[in-house]
Amino acid sequence: MLEKRDFYRLPWSMNDNPIAWIEITDICNIHCEGCYRQYKTGHKSLEQLKEEVLFFKKWRNPDNFSIAGGEPLIYPQIIDLVAFMKQQGIKPVILTNGLALTPDLLHELKKAGLAGFTMHIDSHQNRPHWNNKTEKELNDLRQMYADMVSREGGLYLVFNSTVYPSTYHEIPDVVRWGQQNFEKVQGLVFITYRTMTLDDSVGIDIRDQQVDLSKLSYTRDRFDEKFITSNEVYQIIKDNFPEYEASGYLGGSIRHDSYKWLIGALVGGKDKAYGSVGKKTMEVAQIGHHWYTGRYLAYLSTARIGPKIFLLAPWDKTLRQAWKNRLRDVIKHPGKVFESVNMQSIGIIQAPDLLPDGRADMCDSCPDITIYDGKFVNSCRLDEYRQFGGFISVLEKKEENVSS
């Protein structure tokens, strides 16, 4: 069982958070089952986005801009936007499904100052030529993009996927592939699926009026399977890869026992994990980065951290075990003393959970806050603001007794 005292509570807050989530368009070239966007307004203007960049810089203190959508790569002025973000001294990172990515566009984005990609690939996307594939089969597609980004060089690459009850057992296939690509893939993120069901839920807006929940993309007529939790994702990874351990977390905004973000970082060679960093190393990384740069850390500039990471082993028992495993490996294979030491993060995100009183247990210090009407709004619930003027409460329908 997970114990919060075993992990470092990430020190992020509303006004001092490493991530600035900027939605530049809500138009997309495919449809993912877990998508939060149904209400479409089109591309934002470049001038509006520049204003949002400056707003985030003033009020958020970010280490990176997460350029989101919709699909950012179809935004006509994406290169100009990346260049403007780079000019502000903040890392631009594009969240994409990769469908529109070409080597030429990749090269131009890097020239403009792009730091990296978070690429969403999973088996519940309506992706041309890749429908009805397992997560293991989709590793071929992940490999294609990993090779493309690696050939360009100098860019950070994370793959994320939504975890459904039907794909939960396939998580080890993705983690195993990631370990085979330590030098090309800097992170994996697993996001647990959540939905509301129309047949047993009623939505109430801020004026206490009932709303049409079907206007939201994250509603279904029925959903009979049990949702997967972050604890369960952690456990299946741990059971299959004992060298994995989490080191940092964000809790819920209401429930004291929930893990909304659970962050770990594997340390390994070219294609093998030696172990993980522990809570002390995570604490040093966050506090040290803030002391040195004035900002907390979300994305490393490079995954090639080198053996210097093991200097923290005396204070971090989890990292100490990774150092011992590397030492044994080098003794058995002396040539590996010259092999690079890399870090690969594994993030687990548990999407908002509806509580019986109608509230949602959100991510405390939400990293994916975006801007709407001059204020910060949780990006996963932005459509509620756009459709209904604010967050809604979702209650279980009451069966009415009808007498004849």
Q: Where do the structural domains in the chain lie, given as residue ranges? A: 13-193+228-380, 196-220
Residue 370, pLDDT score: 96
Q: How many Cβ atoms from other residues are within 10 Å of residue 129's Cβ? A: 6
pLDDT, position 197 = 85
Strand stretches in 12-68, DSSP E: 19-23, 64-68
CATH of domain 13-193+228-380: 3.80.30.10
> Tokens for 25?
């368009």
Average pLDDT along the chain, 404 residues, taken 10 residues at a time: 94 97 95 81 96 97 96 98 97 97 98 97 93 96 98 96 96 97 95 88 92 88 86 97 97 96 94 93 96 92 81 95 94 88 95 89 95 94 92 79 38
CB 41 within 8 A of CB 25: no
Rounded CA separation 288/310 (Å): 16
What's the predicted TM-score (pTM) here?
Answer: 0.95
Looking only at the bridges linking them, the beta strands covering 196-197 and 219-220 are parallel
* Short-list 11, 1, 9, 16, CA closest to 279: 9
pLDDT at res. 399 = 57
Residue 224: how many other CB atoms lie within 10 Å: 7
In this structure, what is the dihedral angle of CA atoms 369, 372, 376, 382, given to the nearest 10 degrees?
A: -50
Enumerate residues 6+ apart whose C-beta is below 8 A from 175.
188, 237, 240, 241, 244, 346
Among candidate residues 15, 27, 393, 403, the one with its CA nearest the CA of residue 208:
393
Per-residue pLDDT at 7: 97
Q: Which residues contact 260 (CB under 8 A, 6 or more apart)?
A: 230, 249, 250, 251, 252, 349, 350, 361, 362, 363, 364
Nearest by Cα to 178 from 13, 343, 396, 349: 343
Helix (H) or strand (E) holding 197: strand 196-197
Task: Provide the H-helix boundaries in 200-357.
Answer: 230-240, 279-293, 317-332
